Amino acid sequence: MKEDGSVDLTFNAYGGAQITRKMTVFVNNQPVKIDNGDYVKYRVKKNKMCQIKVKLDKAKVSDGDVIYAIAVDTGKDYRLGVELLGGPILVTNGD
């Protein structure tokens, strides 16, 4: 957690297949808005690693919260694929 209370998160996703996904971030098992949206959309390329970076503001995250993200295939790439991207992560202020 940063001094201003925000949290920068980086999730890594491996593209076994070239697909588009939607990722939702959860704080204490509740979905949170990311950049004024419900999810972040990203595309992975075959056999490549990609990074998805998001910033949660201090209104969404407190010391002791648990964060995780779930991504699902979307659009023409929809194959019932679900992936847990990192987590759960316990937020601490470093003290």
* Model confidence pLDDT, tens digit, residues 12-22: 887 777 888 88
Q: What is the pTM of this model?
A: 0.77
DSSP state of 38: S
Yes or no: say if 43 and 23 are a contact pair by the CB < 8 Å rule: no
Cis, peptide link before residue 88, omega less than 30° from 0: yes
Domain boundaries, given as residue ranges, for the chain: 7-90
For residues 42 and 95, what is the distance between their CA atoms, to the nearest angstrom? 34
What percentage of the chain exceeds 90 in pLDDT?
4
Q: Considering the domain delimited by 7-90, tell me its CATH architecture.
A: Sandwich (2.60)
Predicted confidence at residue 95, as pLDDT, reads: 42
Tens digit of each residue's pLDDT (9 = 90 or more) over 40-94: 998 888 888 888 888 887 667 777 888 888 888 887 766 656 665 666 766 666 5
CB-based contact 24:84 (threshold 8 Å): no
